[in-house]
Amino acid sequence: MKKLIVLLLTFALVGAAFAQTPTLSASSTLSWGWDLDTGYTGFANTNKATISAKITYGMWALSVSSKQSFDFADADALYTGDVAVTIDADKAGTSLSYTANGLSVGVTAASKADWTANTANEYALGANASYKVGDAITVSGGVAYDAFDATKQLGGTASVAYSAAPLTVSVATDLFYDPTPKTFDADALLTVGYAVMEGLDAEADAYYSTGDDDVEVKVAVDYAVDPIEAGVSFGIADPITAIAYDLGIYAGYTYAIDAATKFYVYAEYTSDFTGKGSLVPKVSLTNTSVTNTTLKLEYNPDDADVLAGNYGKIIASAKISL
């Protein structure tokens, strides 16, 4: 018979003692285990609903069921999502956090797999912090290290955001170091947004990555006032070596047939100016006249490109919420 030691922090969210209360209702379990036969150790997170839960005590909170991840994406590339920082040992774990007076800090411990499969006993440690300076400025950052993992990867992120209507400005960076093979990568993203008028927003982004000397710039204008939505964007990628362009245009319209029935039509066109581009149309008819029920008939929910000869799906569905 397998010998094991398991430390459990279980929170069946039907009530709590000592003023500890959950953020959402669920039944969740956080465990740390040690198999005395194999020597495997690690965390595991399980829950009976698709939501996270924490145990809170005043300004402190301990995560119970949410997966702990060290994916830093503050400065992702504008088009490809390259390069996000990913620490290997982030399969399961827990975070302890403190929040008060505009300050939020936390520490996280995670294992590469749940404790029954963390064969090399690989762990990562991380810390994060955020502070709101006055009403308009927020400073945040985080770091994670594969301290007990074979890769010994190190990742970090930092950002400064300013928001005072109608202007928003943010500067963000991601840093990633992998010693095997020895590589260092850094991303930086500058975003400026301006609310021109109600429903009309303009944004400009500039991105740079040291990993492949990637430079990207994008400007966009979006309008959204019921029943209309529309927008256009134009971007330039890698203007130093092999310049590429990106154009995006979209428009949508919602028609209320009655108080419970809505007809929606939408189309999006994108092009890199090297071919005929991509066209994705969508149509849906939604009815909510039955209590706690949403009936929907929709075309192309999976974004099929009709210019590529893909004509999508038609799906009828009923969603009942109790």
The predicted-structure confidence for 17-75, as pLDDT tens digits, reads as follows 444 555 665 678 889 999 999 999 999 988 776 777 788 888 998 888 766 678 778 88
Who wins on pLDDT, 322 or 257? 257
Determine the pLDDT at residue 19: 47
Residue pLDDT, tens place only, 174-226: 999 988 888 888 999 999 999 999 999 999 999 998 876 788 999 999 999 99
- What is the distance, to the nearest Å, from the Cα of residue 213 to the centroid of all Cα atoms in its chain? 25
What is the distance between the alpha carbons of residues 315 and 281, in angstroms, rounded to a whole number?
14
> What is the tens place of the pLDDT at every residue in 224-265?
999 999 999 999 988 777 889 999 999 999 999 999 999 999
pTM for this one? 0.81
pLDDT digits (tens, 9 = 90+) for 67-110: 667 877 888 888 776 666 788 888 899 999 999 999 999 999 99
315-319: average pLDDT: 97
